[in-house]
Amino acid sequence: MKSLVVSLLLLPISTLAIASVEEVLMAAAEAETKAFKDGDCDTLMAHMGEDLTFYANGRRMNREMVRNFCENIPRPFGQTPTEDETSAFAISDTAGYTVRDFTWVDKKGRTVHEIVTKIWRKQDEQWVMTHFQSTVKVQD
């Protein structure tokens, strides 16, 4: 959450007043992704609602499993994505989703394509993730 607050605080006041839901969702998604990459698991979990549903490549995980995964995954992750695009979509003033579509080459030289969808809800003036879906396809 600290990253999101810092990100939004860096925006000019006039930008904050007119920031679209899509812009706020992009900032939330970027802050959450950065927290995961950096191993800042407290900030990562602050971005996730208490009612989170989380599916990583077909495997359902609860909040405790997500935290454990964050705390134990080896970092740095390795290859920089060769393609990486994130889009945000507003559903209403208090709900929306982001989609990240990215590709990288793993240590074995295989191309890996991942699509991550996150559904966000504005709760108590903060945007929290309520659903996460990641699908990974490895091409030989």
> How far apart (Å, rounded) are the C-alpha atoms in residues 94 and 97?
11
Domain at 2-139, CATH class: alpha beta
Tell me how far CA of residue 87 lies from CA of 41, 45, 101, 117, in angstroms: 24, 22, 9, 10
| Residue-range domain boundaries for the chain | 2-139
**Dihedral, 118, 123, 127, 132 alpha carbons, nearest 10:** -20
Would you write out the chain's pLDDT as a tens digit for each of its 140 residues? 444 444 443 444 344 445 899 999 999 999 999 999 999 999 999 999 999 999 998 899 999 999 999 999 998 887 889 999 999 999 999 999 999 999 999 888 999 999 999 999 999 989 999 999 999 999 87
Q: Which residues pair with 60 in a beta bridge?
A: 55
pLDDT of residue 79: 81
- C-alpha 20, offset from chain centre: 18
Q: What is the pTM of this model?
A: 0.83
